[in-house]
Amino acid sequence: MNRSLKRLDVIHQNLLDTVQPLDKELFMQRPSDREWSVAEILQHLYLVEERVIKDLTRGIAAEPARVSFFKRFLPTSIVSLRIRKFQAPKAVNPVEVPEKQLVLANYNGARQSLKDLCNLHGAKRFRTLVFNHPFLGRIDGRATVDFVGYHEQRHLKQIREVLKKLGA
């Protein structure tokens, strides 16, 4: 679990280093009507992480369970690849995005909550809970934490693409 949390920290810091220097206008600007702004991408990451925390908390409160043997070897790193675009579930689509400082505060707060949850319950308990991912299916709690990092890495690539399109 420590390795997963360290990876979360590294990816999170890389993303923050990319977006914090942006001025408010660039942060909120969309490259096109069909593409998200940096602010919307961060809002999406926050919404996903909040959803994950809620579902993991529910899993912790439930009886221990396990995913199938083969599911334990599913590489959640495939999430970081941007070979194929996916439509985000409606519940995690950014709708009304607050101003930059609040977006960043929400995003950082969700990450701290996830890390606190992991540290409180530990790797052993996370191996015995099940998370239902909309695309990956049933994965255990440890794989879910890895997913969060790889999902963030995927969107860091997207942010860099957005900034390039905007000439930044």
Q: What is the pLDDT of residues 82-114, one digit of tens each?
A: 666 777 778 888 888 999 999 999 999 999 999
Domain count, the chain: 1
Tokens of 62: 């439930």
| CATH code, domain carrying 22 | 1.20.120.450
> How many residues appear in the chain?
168
At residue 107, the pLDDT reads 97
- Give the domain extent around 134: 2-165
At residue 74, the pLDDT reads 64
Tens of pLDDT, residue by residue over 112-126, are: 999 999 999 999 999
> In the predicted model, is pLDDT for residue 80 greater than 80?
no
Stated pTM of the model: 0.91
C-alpha distance across the termini of the chain, in Å: 36
